[in-house]
Amino acid sequence: MKPGRRTAVAAAFIGALGLGILHAPAAQAADTGITVSDIVINNGKPIVVGTSKAVEPPLTFKITLPSGYSTADPYAYEADPFLYRGSLKTAADTGKNYIGPGGYTCYEISSKRARCEGNLYIDPHRSRKQVSSNSDATTWKVAVSLRLFKASGAVKAAEYETRSQTVRLKRAAKVTAADATPDPVTKGKKITVKGKLTRADWSTKKYNGYGDRTVRLEFRAKGTAAYKTVKTATTSSTGGLKATVTASTDGFYRWKYNGNTTTGSTVGAADYVDVR
């Protein structure tokens, strides 16, 4: 199979600058005849984003070219799926609430069809306008930017196509390592396990305590593989966690939060307790 090198290079440029595809279609809107199908973003799962690290959710799709164009000439066309929130025109004109490809490569299926795979690119840095508000933790729409080029390299036709498909973005959460005391402990005595749950604030780019959340305290006995829930606790207004359990055998305690519609799930590191 032959890679579409131009597609991959152009998409990487878009991921770096964020606005590479946004303006040409508005100026020269015309039917390109390109068909984009089978778009799959992040394997159909929500995308979880923190406060500093860029996220690159996987992206796959297929393209079918119009008459007069061939996959043998990847420089003659572009097809770029992207996410947007709110108005498509606003996203296209300003780049706000726009998430585009970070890079992808297309492989020939036939002279008119290709299969493409790569990733989207989401950078939470405040200089970008992708996830700048906590209200961005919601459902985003999917659209495609399409362009055909003349032999000279000038744009022949360009358009946006919207899709009914959606993708949910979530704020990342963190839970601290479990802190179980006393350790060692006498069998049958009480153990107190503490921790803290925080989640990303996209406005301040910090992690803040996440209050009034139900978090599971899980235990794995020494020599076993599976964790089991032994208690649940509700976080304080600052995200604090505290639960008391009875010591029965050596093993590991950890906190686990299952997430919700705006917040991702998270599991903290385990604390080993020696029961004597």
pLDDT mean across residues, the chain: 89
3-state class of 8 per DSSP?
helix
The residue that leads in pLDDT, 22 or 70, is 70
> Residue 79 is inside which H or E element, if any?
strand 77-84
Q: Give ∠ CA 42-45-49 in degrees, rounded to 5.
A: 75
What is the structure's pLDDT at 29? 65
Q: Is the pLDDT of residue 252 over 50?
A: yes
* pLDDT for res 276: 94
162-168, long-range: CB < 8 A, 24+ apart: 162/88, 163/39, 165/39, 165/41, 165/141, 166/139, 166/140, 166/141, 166/142, 167/41, 167/42, 167/46, 167/47, 167/83, 167/139, 167/140, 167/142, 168/46, 168/47, 168/138, 168/139, 168/140, 168/261
Question: What would the mean pLDDT of 204-223 be, rounded to a whole number?
Answer: 97
Q: What percentage of the chain reaches a pLDDT higher than 70?
A: 89
- 37, 62 Cβ separation under 8 angstroms: yes
Delineate the domains of the chain, giving CATH numbers in brackets.
5-171 (2.70.50), 173-273 (2.60.40.10)
Measured CA to CA, the distance from residue 131 to residue 52 in angstroms comes to 11
Least confident range from 9-18, 153-162, 201-210, 259-268: namely: 9-18
Q: State the chain's maximal CA–CA distance in angstroms.
A: 81
- Within 10 angstroms of residue 74's Cβ, the number of other Cβ atoms is 21
The DSSP code sequence of 220-250 is: EETT----EEEEEEE--TT-EEEEEEE--SS
Separation of alpha carbons 84 and 122, rounded Å: 12
Higher pLDDT, 28 or 203: 203
pLDDT in tens, 36-62: 999 999 999 999 999 999 999 999 999
Closest CA to 104 of 92, 128, 89, 121: 121
Whole-number pLDDT of residue 22: 47
Q: For the residues 240-257, what does the mean pLDDT come to?
A: 97
Q: Quote the CA–CA distance of 59 and 81 in Å, as a whole number.
A: 9
Report how far apart the first and last C-alpha atoms of the chain are (Å, whole number): 63
- The answer to whether residue 125 scores a pLDDT higher than 60 is yes
**Per-residue exposure over 181-214, b if at least 16 CB sit within 10 Å of its own CB, e if not:** eeeebeeeeebebbbbbbbbebeeeebeebeebe
Q: pLDDT tens-digit profile of 103-117?
A: 899 999 999 999 999
Residue 48 contacts by C-beta under 8 Å, 6 or more apart in sequence?
A: 55, 169, 170, 171, 172, 264
User: 85-102 pLDDT, tens per residue?
Assistant: 999 988 888 888 899 999
What pTM did the predictor assign? Answer: 0.86
- Phi-psi sector, 11: left (phi>0), alpha (psi -120 to 50), beta: alpha
Q: What residues pair up with 82 in beta bridges, in sequence order?
A: 143
Read off the pLDDT of each residue in 231-239 and give the average, rounded to a whole number. Answer: 98
111/188 Cα distance (integer angstroms): 72
